[in-house]
Chains A and B, each alone.
Chain A
Amino acid sequence: METIKLDLKHYKELLKSYIETQDEKSLYGAEQISKSFIKNNILPEEIVNLHIQSIIELYPDLNKEIRHAMNFLLETMISYGLAHQEYQTLREKQLELKSEISIAANMQETLLATTIPNVEDLDIGVISVPAHQMNGDYHHLVKSNDGLIGIAVADVIGKGIPAALCMSMIKYSMESFPDQSMKPKAILESLNRVVERNVEAGMFITMFYALYNPTDSKLQYASAGHEPGFYYYAEQDTYNEIDAKGLVLGVSPDTNYNQYELQLHQGDMVILLTDGVTECRNNGKFIEREEVIEVIKKYAHLPAQETVNQVYKHFERLQNFQLKDDFTLIILRKNV
């Protein structure tokens, strides 16, 4: 109330000064005072009323018609005032939701935290960035007691909260598997049964699972309809698609998955990704998978973590810093 009285006095003075001189300084004052109105939730009808009062005090002989006209204006402001109040309430609600989601996102981050295992002959780089606050991509790296490295990349259909919820399920089921050195084929088959039982029709998950054995440098892998990764064959300096067939998780309960094997040599790279990488659109045009390879090539001389960071930055810029889909990229490079 005090501020309103102060503002009334100030408003009247500014109005008077402007009517007499039409100077910019009074208008600057008007700008300041309107900001103060907004800050103090003064509604438009009150401002119009303030204006009417000021002008009547300044010019007591103001003609009747103008006064009526001003009252008419006041009347039209009422609904604007309501709309403004509604907007304020919705804004507060939105902030509330945002903070709830950000807490959930933090929980998710903790839930999905994965440490990159230390493997002597393998340089590993990982990046996973959600398009919105919550991530529908999943990745997990684990070293089993017998020294095998399990690498999982998964993509839940859709994005945002529903995808994130679904992904927590993957996390828990993976943890419930008794043996961390389970074969990729067996992992996908068990996961598929879990997912099929627990998701509604039309929901599905794609996953690539690999198991690396440092003793013989062999990588066993299987894919459940996941975006194919790339294999860099250092000796020939060629990039090839990692060929793996298999149905997405959650569609058919008795799916069998094929298991494949790769022999890694010094300098070879295995590149795993989600379709957030290949579905980047540049001005409405899709980038081709070959372009992804070009970008990776450009940064391939860097340590694996630096490579994935730089590739991400490249595509982030390409999409004007607004990811359309969750982005996950993992690079494994055999360095001995």
Chain B
Amino acid sequence: MNLDINVTENSEKYLVHLSGEIDAYTSQKLKDTLLPLTKKKGYTLVVDLEQVNYMDSTGLGVFISVLKATKEAESSMTLINLKERVRKLFKITGLDQIININLDERGVND
């Protein structure tokens, strides 16, 4: 399966659009893309998961790593537009308590 990653930068904000599946095969690529984006202090990393239909536990692992990296660099991360199945995964694992998840966010460009 494939994962397309599209990054845009906009006033202290990285917007990352993901499309596809996040699993053991694609998560390395995702991690390699997201980690460097956490390095700028004060920046927010917004990850749009609207086009992600499937994610497994390795995907959760990526977001945990990225979260830890943002804390070190004093940047932050928010996940938006999660599909029900993906949102449930964050809820079951209790990760929704430590990761910023914005369920209503739409059109973050404005």
Contacts and interface: CB of A to CB of B under 8 A. Distances in A.
A203 B85 CA distance: 21
Given A201-B68, A202-B65, A157 B58 contact: yes
Contacts of B64: 201-202, 204, 251
A245 interface: yes
Interface in A274-313: 275, 279, 286
Count chain A CB atoms within 10 A of each CB in B85, B92, B97 and give the residue with the most: B92
B98 A225 contact: no
B94 interface: yes
A17 interface: no
Interface string B54-94: 00111011101100110000000000000001000000111
A104 interface: no
Contacts of A226: 92
B58 to A, nearest CB: 6
A121 B7 CA distance: 58
Interface string B34-47: 00000000000000
A206 interface: yes
Name A's interface SS.
loop
A203 B61 CA distance: 6
A247 B94 contact: yes
Interface string A194-228: 00000001111010000000000000000011111
Interface residues of A, number: 23
Contact of B31 (A157, A202, A204): A202
A286 B60 CA distance: 18
Contacts of B95: 225, 247-248, 251
A273 B98 CA distance: 25
A224 B97 CA distance: 13
A245 B94 CA distance: 7
Contacts of A251: 64, 95, 98
Contacts of B98: 247, 251-252
B103 interface: no
B60 A157 contact: yes
A211 to B, nearest CB: 21
A158 interface: yes
Contacts of B62: 202
A155 to B, nearest CB: 8
A202 B61 contact: yes
A267 interface: no
A117 interface: no
B24 interface: yes
Contact of B94 (A157, A248, A279): A248
B41 to A, nearest CB: 19
A157 B57 contact: yes
Nearest to A281: B54
A125 B45 CA distance: 46
19 contacts: A157-B60, A157-B61, A158-B24, A158-B57, A201-B64, A204-B57, A204-B60, A204-B93, A206-B93, A225-B92, A226-B92, A227-B92, A245-B94, A246-B94, A247-B93, A247-B95, A248-B94, A275-B57, A279-B56
**Interface pairs A-B: 6 shortest CB-CB:** A247-B94, A225-B93, A202-B65, A202-B61, A157-B57, A201-B65
Interface of B: 24, 31, 56-58, 60-62, 64-65, 68-69, 85, 92-95, 97-98
Interface of A: 155, 157-159, 201-204, 206, 224-228, 245-248, 251-252, 275, 279, 286
